Structure 1
Amino acid sequence: MAISIVDYELPYDTHNEYDVTFYGDRIHTMLTNSPAMVESWLSTVTLANPNHRIVGLDVEWRPNFSRNSDNPIATLQLCTGPNYAGSLQIAPGTVLPGVCLDPNCLIFQVIHSESIPQSLSNFLANPAFTFVGVGIESDCEKLLLDYELRVANAVDLRGFAARRLGFPDLRNAGLKRLASAVLGKELQKPKRVTMSRWDSQWLTYDQIQYAAVDAFISYEIARQLNLRGA
């Protein structure tokens, strides 16, 4: 299978963790609505690792089925590289407490959170980080309108990939097309998940996989295209 999920089944009310695997890439994922757990996750983003300067960003919300509805963002997804310094030398088979060698994804159920942690506001507003996605400008605008969260440095991968690869038609591509063109991987985006109840307190495995993979693919496309070095 191209995608699978392992549930850690943690005995906490604040969060749970999963390993989402997409074409052999394992994405360590935290799902939470707790401001304290968001702060904890952000604290693991090691500034010494250059890959952490790139952050895949995506949002989901309950679909608007009427002209007058405007449902707020339900989940914010962030994906970064492994939480260790890039220069760290680790022997094969070595296990280090608190060190994750896989990409890290946060799925923050912001709609169910009692507050927005200041550390998240500071993180998104830090121009040292480059937040990447497809159609990210509209996502950032909605984050600002719904939760007063400002993203300081956002890059739409469509225009960047078009310039980097020399294919102007990628300027109008979706994430599926970019995943195929840049990564050579087929991304499934079933409508039953895209149009599902993202404001539910209990997300399904399909929703968790969908949310984690979207953020990861944005991060991985930017990494593969060497966005920071461009």
Structure 2
Amino acid sequence: MALTIRSVASYNTHKEYSVDFFGNDLFVTVTPTTSVIRRWINAAVFYHRRWHRHRPLVVGVGVQWTPFGYYDPPADTLQLCVGKRCIIIQLSHCGHVPQILRRFLADPQTTFVGVWNYQDARKLWQSGHGLGIAELLDIRHYVVNSEGRSMRTFSFEHIVEGCLGFRGVRLDPGISMSDWSVDDLSHAQILQASVDAYVCCKLGVLGRLWEV
């Protein structure tokens, strides 16, 4: 599988990584820090307005939590992707979240796209920050493969292969069910979370989901 990740920088406030997704370089920030979250959102909006003002903003969204018996756990992380810029916000380590994040997530003019995400909005609300989000689309309901067939019931792996032509890109259940509340996320967790959000953003743009 042509997916790799490498560490770029480590600071007290955040860590930065580079993910190679079949030749596409994704820049990934992992942080619980308010100022870093604020800076990422401002930069994402700025670059979108500068280079893609002809269309609405499309954001890939993913939410991770740590399964624990019969307990219904809240979100531990929120991953966002705009273009090739991704951020993984460690909600379980945030003292508080900036108001700009609340406004960003609540903007009805922004198209938010995830996959197999029927629990995500509830998990965000259950987090210690009570985060709300505007309409969150599930990419499965809108994409079709090269033969024009709906992929509503397909796995993430088959959606990526059918729509983007890349094989072997799967969401590993073992990683999905790992501990997302840890201080230092593993490279495997960061890679999966960022690819999840990036693919959803990419397909949201290709499918012009702001028109649905």
TM-score computed with the length of structure 1 as normaliser: 0.82
Please give the alpha-carbon distance, in whole angstroms, between the structure 2 residues aligned to 1:164 and 1:141.
33
How far the C-alpha of 1:71 sits from its partner, in A, is: 1.9
- Residue 176 (structure 2) pairs with residue 194 (structure 1): yes
- Quick one: which of 181, 188, 197 aligns to 1:206? 188
One-letter amino acid of the counterpart of residue 3, structure 2 = I
Q: Kindly tell me: are residues 74 and 181 of structure 1, through their superposed partners in 2, closer, same or farther at Cα, counting changes over 3 Å?
A: same
Over residues 9-47 of structure 1, what are the superposed CA-to-partner deviations in whole Å (9 max), with x where a residue is unaligned? 33x210011111111111100000101110010010225
One-letter amino acid of the counterpart of residue 66, structure 2 = R
Residues 120-199 of structure 1: pairs in structure 2 closer than 5 A: 120-146=101-127, 147-162=129-144, 166-168=148-150, 170-186=151-167, 187-199=169-181
TM-score computed with the length of structure 2 as normaliser: 0.89
Would you say the 8 A contact 1:55–1:129 is kept in 2? Answer: yes
Please give the alpha-carbon distance, in whole angstroms, between the structure 2 residues aligned to 1:145 and 1:194.
19
Would you say the 8 A contact 1:52–1:80 is kept in 2? Answer: no
How far the C-alpha of 1:166 sits from its partner, in A, is: 4.0
- Residue 8 (structure 2) pairs with residue 4 (structure 1): no
- Quick one: which of 58, 61, 65 aligns to 2:65? 61
Would you say the 8 A contact 2:26–2:86 is kept in 1? Answer: yes
What residue is the counterpart of 2:26 in the other structure?
A: 27
One-letter amino acid of the counterpart of residue 228, structure 1 = W
One-letter amino acid of the counterpart of residue 7, structure 2 = D
Residues 62-141 of structure 1: pairs in structure 2 closer than 5 A: 62-64=66-68, 66-67=69-70, 69-81=71-83, 103-141=84-122
How far the C-alpha of 1:113 sits from its partner, in A, is: 0.7
| Greater shift in the superposed pair: 194-203 or 46-55 | 46-55
Please give the alpha-carbon distance, in whole angstroms, between the structure 2 residues aligned to 1:120 and 1:40.
10
Would you say the 8 A contact 2:73–2:123 is kept in 1? Answer: no
What residue is the counterpart of 1:94 in the other structure?
A: none
Q: Kindly tell me: are residues 136 and 165 of structure 1, through their superposed partners in 2, closer, same or farther at Cα, counting changes over 3 Å?
A: farther
Would you say the 8 A contact 2:145–2:159 is kept in 1? Answer: no
Please give the alpha-carbon distance, in whole angstroms, between the structure 2 residues aligned to 1:62 and 1:210.
15
Q: Which runs of 4+ in 1 moved over 3 A?
A: 162-166
